[in-house]
Structure 1
């Protein structure tokens, strides 16, 4: 029995499925609790939870409840993650009365999760909130957690940056730079998914907080392997699933808001057609 069939056996019929994965319309806490008791596991999690700032898909919680909620979710994720697995957790900022206007969520949760914090990645983007009385925000954080600091997946060659200033520079007759490119560092300059009549991104959906595929693709290539099963407890617009499919990985997602299921289904069906068309084209050569 395949890993996906094993999951269906314990979680039941999904709201959406294809050959690469499953999407469930349920609270991720419920689904993760069931999986935690089942003994089944996943290879990695790539996700971005609600930031508790009043977006249309969330209800604002008291700060301590919000932090406790994140802790509960991601400690369940820890329980179902393989020994060499990872959690890539994207978080932004929130306001705390009498404390701060834009407090990074990383400050509140980084040590609350059972995973080992390997590194903080800065996601820098060009477009965002315009400001006059403070600096315009242009970054969010990605916490790269691993389960075992001695055994984990890291495919540096798959995410090297080919834009090398001096690619042919030598020392003692030997090339100093890897021919595949340079280490992309812990600051990633990747454009946000924009909206608007004249500047909307081609991949834009109706979700107000959409992951860019370039960002997820780098995480998938760098921190997972072919055929791995990737979890996203907050599936949103389906970017993690779509990008997993394009990189020959499996996916498992939870999305509590049924309004986004049609968006996810349409997007993943389109991705499936793209993959099938690409396979057909390759058979011609």
Structure 2
């Protein structure tokens, strides 16, 4: 699949070695631009963190309430058309709260149900993941820090969706390190087999093979819950959290006096799903890319990518991200 850049009209396009960032409304462009219709059925992974259904407008743009739900559900057939038959859609979304009430909204759940039940999309929820971040600021602030009626909302949902019961996936590519006790067991080559109180029958040799790590969980602990216990994230996730102040992108933003996008998707999360659900050379798309963490991670992992972003400020932040000398693949503006 090769796009003819001069046919992506009314848009600024920025290219790297592996992908392109298109400035504009992704949904309008994907629906109406004939050149972008070439993407249909070719995308192996759509991964994105769309604007959350918050009660207050944010600078990165977001709808509210029923308007948000209608907007979200209409994405279903658009995304389904883009996906290859064994492709995946991964969406990170936060919780919502009822306006001026200490009551959690069902809006995000209604969005999920509306998407997977859309009659024109043929989608289904493959698995839900939870991304826990103990460094998140206390929210909803009114009910946590002012009135002190609720606990901190400290996690986001990550939905893995596909139009096939068996999308491309390989959990052996995203193994997490073995625990210290498992490392000792493998070295010792013995353990207590037999029947457990749970009635599971543990075989004599079932846990003696070294597979290079243990199978990842669907819970991402971005920082340690217990400081005395090692966080065993998959190697692909590493410590790529939004609090990593030594990150090249954040360091350069500080030097240039740039305020980074306030709702950046975790690079570790993006790394995980790219490695879990795609192969080198596959195509990854992010329709709401912000500062383009998705494109950056995809480039480093040797996949092709297409990202969209409306705001000029965030396009410039993406260019900062791609100026990383270790990447050696700057985003260059193309005349179209």
TM-score, normalized by the shorter chain, greater than 0.5: yes
CA contact (8 A) 2:127 2:160 kept: yes
Instruction: Tell me: CA distance 1:177–1:105, structure 2 relative to 1, closer, same or farther (3 Å).
Output: farther
* CA distance in structure 1 between the partners assigned to 2:328 and 2:272 by the alignment: 22
1:10 CA displacement: 4.8
Deviations 1:108-160 (A, max 9, x none): 2112223211011011122112344311222100000012113x111201111
2:176 corresponds in structure 1 to 161
1:211 CA displacement: 1.5
* CA distance in structure 2 between the partners assigned to 1:56 and 1:144 by the alignment: 27
Question: TM-score scaled by structure 2?
Answer: 0.72
CA contact (8 A) 1:10 1:34 kept: no
2:97 counterpart SS class: strand
Note the residue ranges of structure 1 that are not aligned, 5 or more in a row: 278-285
* CA distance in structure 2 between the partners assigned to 1:264 and 1:230 by the alignment: 16
- Counterparts of 1:51-130 in structure 2 under 5 Å? 51-53=52-54, 54-61=57-64, 63-97=65-99, 101-103=103-105, 105-113=107-115, 114=121, 115-130=123-138
2:257 corresponds in structure 1 to none
Higher relative contact order (CA 8 A, sep 6+): 2
Instruction: Tell me: CA distance 1:42–1:173, structure 2 relative to 1, closer, same or farther (3 Å).
Output: closer
1:182 counterpart SS class: coil
* CA distance in structure 2 between the partners assigned to 1:7 and 1:156 by the alignment: 35
The structure with more strand, counted as a fraction of residues: 1
1:193 corresponds in structure 2 to 242
Note the residue ranges of structure 2 that are not aligned, 5 or more in a row: 116-120, 139-143, 191-202, 224-240, 254-259, 330-336
2:37 corresponds in structure 1 to 38
2:105 counterpart SS class: strand
Give the RMSD, CA atoms, in angstroms: 2.5
CA contact (8 A) 1:121 1:143 kept: yes
Question: TM-score scaled by structure 1?
Answer: 0.84
Deviations 1:39-67 (A, max 9, x none): 43311101001013222111443x22111
Instruction: Tell me: CA distance 1:145–1:173, structure 2 relative to 1, closer, same or farther (3 Å).
Output: closer
